[in-house]
Amino acid sequence: MPYQTADRVGTFGTSIFAEMSRLAVEHKAINLGQGFPDFDGPEVVKEAAIAAIRAGENQYAVSWGQPALRRAVAQHSLRFHGQTFDPDTEITVTSGATEALCAAVLGLVNPGDEVIIFEPFYDCYVPNVLLAGGVPRYVPLHAPTADRPEWHFDPAELAAAFNARTRLLFLNTPHNPTGKVFAPAELAQIAALCVQWDVLALCDEVYEHLVYDGGKQQRLSAQPGMAERTISVSSSGKTFGFTGWKIGWAIARPDLTTAVRAAHQFITFATSTPMQTAAAAALALEDEYYQALAADYQARRDYLCAALAATGLRISVPQGTYFIMADITPLGYSDDVAFCRWLTTEVGVAAIPPTAFYADADKALGRTWARFAFCKRRETLERAVERLATLAKRA
Ligand SMILES: Cc1ncc(COP(=O)(O)O)c(C=O)c1O
């Protein structure tokens, strides 16, 4: 008899990313599914990692992060958000944003506590809450309409999700998979409810520098009453194009940081020493790097959006992230999983079915969409576009 998986993880299953990537390899499809660049980040950052290894930075790091990286995270916060944090007591370095989110939830959510999550959601949020014994409460982001051209929440639905048992709210802005960048008025509504109900906010900001058309990511922690109740999480993966390095961080006032560090010390204890040195060098890159990054991704976005729209798919143009959501109904499809399998095996382009980002009860909300990643070289996108051009004829 095979051994049984423990109850606490028994329902987690295999991620859709792994399944679609496997299918993509099997059918030699161009993978616009999983969100990782097929190109490297800056050479100077790679050189900083190599130099750190050569200089002997190869033993355990400080559990909550090397001082140079914590200082660099603090300086980055001041430069881009005008917020001051103490690197010694308010910043924790983790193994990617993924571990920061997990440590924050395990460190702050008690069994029975409710946690508000906008749908669609990034895939680790719900397992994190369940591992802590918490109870997810879902609030849908509604698809764009003629009146509201961007993904949006209904303030009444959000308000109804709060109650005396609510402990924490997840906010991901810029938002994967919709590409939504929460507007200041929306952040103000969320903040007012968090303050009213004394709720913590866990903000996933990994796409903070991938915002287009001159927009800017605003931190929820900058809203009145939120500085003392927000954990801001980010990482070097998306901003510097090294998703495999897994260097992330959590920023929060000292009492919240104590909770994050308490969990972190027994999840990974510490993360890669030389990669922390390299991440510190990356964060210190001049403003031009960050501007060029957004301009470069905006060009990729515009190229793939135009190509997808030309196939007949209805595009929701993302304000941020490197994902495009496409409505598949104009091509006669109504099932995202069937569409994405067909696209991968028959057309040779892999995409992600967004129902993976919804709770079972709400999967209908994502059923008619597909998510395409544009964090790919121009030639990869061109090859994908060539294949996609045949789509309208085949559908
Ligand atoms: C919204 C979101 N949060 C977190 C992560 C993971 O970040 P990291 O690689 O730093 O763990 C991703 C990666 O795709 C993401 O899309």
Q: How far apart are CA 195 and CA 121, in angstroms?
A: 23
| % of the chain beyond a pLDDT of 70 | 99
Terminal CA-to-CA distance of the chain, rounded, Å? 45
- Band of pLDDT at residue 237, cut at 50, 70 and 90: very high
234 CB under 6 A from ligand 1? no
CA neighbor of 343 nearest in space, from 362, 370, 316? 370
- Residue 18's pLDDT is 84
Mutation probe of ligand 1 site: the residue of 204, 205, 247, 322 with most atoms within 8 A of C-beta:
204
Decide: 320 in ligand 1 pocket, CB within 6 A.
no
Residue 393 confidence class, pLDDT cut points 50, 70, 90: low
The dihedral sign for the CA sequence 144, 149, 151, 157: negative
Q: Is the pLDDT of residue 394 over 70?
A: no
Q: What is the pLDDT of residue 346?
A: 94
Mean pLDDT of 272-293: 98
Task: Please state, in angstroms and as integers, the Cα–Cα distance from residue 137 to each residue in 117, 260, 291, following that order.
Answer: 6, 22, 37
**Is pLDDT at 395 greater than 90 in this prediction?**
no
Determine the pLDDT at residue 146: 87
Both tokens assigned to 42: 């800056």
Categorize the per-residue pLDDT at 66 as very low, low, confident or very high, splitting at 50, 70 and 90.
Answer: very high
Nearest to 170 by CA among 215, 136, 198: 136
Spatial separation of the C-alpha atoms in residues 135 and 126, rounded to whole Å:
9
Peptide bond connecting 37 to the previous residue in cis, omega within 30 degrees of 0: no
Q: Could you give the 3-state DSSP secondary structure of residue 104?
A: helix
- Verify whether ligand 1 is closer than 6 Å to residue 204 (CB atom): yes
Residue 248 near residue 233, CB atoms below 8 Å = yes
For a mutational test of ligand 1's pocket, the pick from 36, 238, 264, i.e. the residue with the most ligand atoms closer than 8 A to its C-beta, is 238
Local confidence band at 164 (pLDDT 50, 70, 90 cut-offs): very high
Q: 320 and 172 in contact (C-beta within 8 Å)?
A: no
Residue 116 three-state SS? strand
CA 235 to centroid of ligand 1, rounded, Å: 8
Specify the pLDDT at position 206: 98
Where b means 16+ CB within 10 Å and e means fewer, 304-339 reads bbebbeebebbbbbbbbbbbbbbbbeebebeebbeb
SS3 321: coil
Tens digit of pLDDT for each residue in 101-143? 999 999 999 999 999 999 999 999 999 999 999 999 999 999 9
Amino acid of residue 207: Y
Q: What pLDDT is attached to residue 158?
A: 98
pLDDT on residue 282? 98
CB of 190 closer than 8 Å to CB of 117:
no
Contact between residue 236 and residue 248 where contact means Cβ atoms under 8 Å apart: yes
Which bin fits 321, alpha (ψ -120 to 50), beta or left (φ > 0)? left
CA distance 72 to 284: 7
Q: Compute φ and ψ for 260, nearest 5 degrees.
A: -60, -45
Give residue 237 CA to ligand 1 midpoint distance, Å: 8
For ligand 1, say whether the CB of 239 is within 6 Å of any of its atoms.
no
Record the tokens describing residue 236, joined without a space: 């070097």
Own/partner long-range contacts of 328-333 (Cβ < 8 Å, ≥24 apart): 328/368, 328/369, 328/370, 329/368, 331/391, 331/392, 331/395, 332/395, 333/368, 333/395
Atom of ligand 1 nearest to the CA of 204: 3
Tally of CA atoms within 13 A in the half-sphere of 359 that contains its CB: 17
Confidence category of residue 233, pLDDT binned at 50, 70, 90? very high
CA of 239 to the centre of ligand 1 (A): 11
Rounded mean pLDDT, 225-247: 97
Please count the helices (runs of H) and the strands (runs of E) in the chain.
15, 12
Residues 366, 131: Cα–Cα separation, whole Å: 25
Confidence bin at 72 (pLDDT 50/70/90)? very high
d(Cα 284, Cα 76) in Å, to the nearest integer? 7
> Residue 98 CA: which ligand 1 atom is closest?
11
Nearest CA to ligand 1 atom 9: 96
Query: Each residue of 24-51: pLDDT tens digit?
Result: 999 999 999 988 999 999 999 999 999 9
Name every residue whose Cβ is closer than 8 Å to that of residue 297 and which is 6 or more positions away in sequence. Answer: 210, 212, 322, 374, 375
Checking if the pLDDT of 15 tops 90, the result is no
Give 206 Cα–ligand 1 centroid separation in angstroms.
6
- Give the pLDDT score at 16: 78
What is the pTM assigned to this prediction?
0.97
Coil, helix or strand at residue 41: coil
Among 210, 272, 286, residue whose Cα is nearest residue 241: 210
| Type of residue found at 334 | S
**Does residue 152 have a pLDDT over 80?**
yes
Q: What is the pLDDT at residue 19?
A: 84
Is 172's C-beta closer than 6 angstroms to any atom of ligand 1? yes
- What is the amino acid identity at position 22? R
Ligand 1 atom nearest residue 236's Cα: 10
Rounded Cα gap, residues 223 and 182, in angstroms: 13
